[in-house]
Amino acid sequence: MPYINLKTTVSVDSDKGKALKAKFGKAIENFPGKSEKWLVVGVEDNARLWFAGSDEGCAYTEVALLGTASDAAYESMTAALTDIISSELAISPDKIYIKYEECTHWGWNGGNF
């Protein structure tokens, strides 16, 4: 039930989008019990984002998951996502923000988990 949504000022072609999806699929395993099997990934490229007043390469990423996770899991996930986004999109790590959200309710297939 996790969701990762990436918004970036950078253009992302189909191949790069698939590479990001695959790497996010591995990174989600930083959270115990989470896997690509239930992961939804969104990539919004060419976004109108300004970081510190500049629209130069930057990214904002949201990660939502059902339940909670440890501080250590969040630390390792932040490191993994930062590395993926930086290496795949050539965005400086200091231009990447990541927001986490823990959800208590998550709907799927007409019901809730």
What tens digit of pLDDT does each residue of 63-105 get?
999 999 999 999 999 999 999 999 999 999 999 999 999 999 9
- Asked if 84 and 43 count as a contact pair (C-beta separation under 8 A), the reply is no
Q: What pLDDT shows up at residue 31?
A: 97
Its pTM stands at 0.94
How do residues 5-38 score in pLDDT, each as one tens digit?
999 999 999 999 999 999 999 999 999 999 999 9
Structure tokens at 36: 């690509």
The structural domains of the chain, with segments of one domain joined by +, span 3-112
- Asked if 90 and 35 count as a contact pair (C-beta separation under 8 A), the reply is no
How do residues 42-72 score in pLDDT, each as one tens digit?
999 999 999 999 989 999 999 999 999 999 9
- Write down the CATH number for the domain with range 3-112: 3.30.429.10
What span, in angstroms and rounded, lies between the C-alpha atoms of 62 and 66?
14
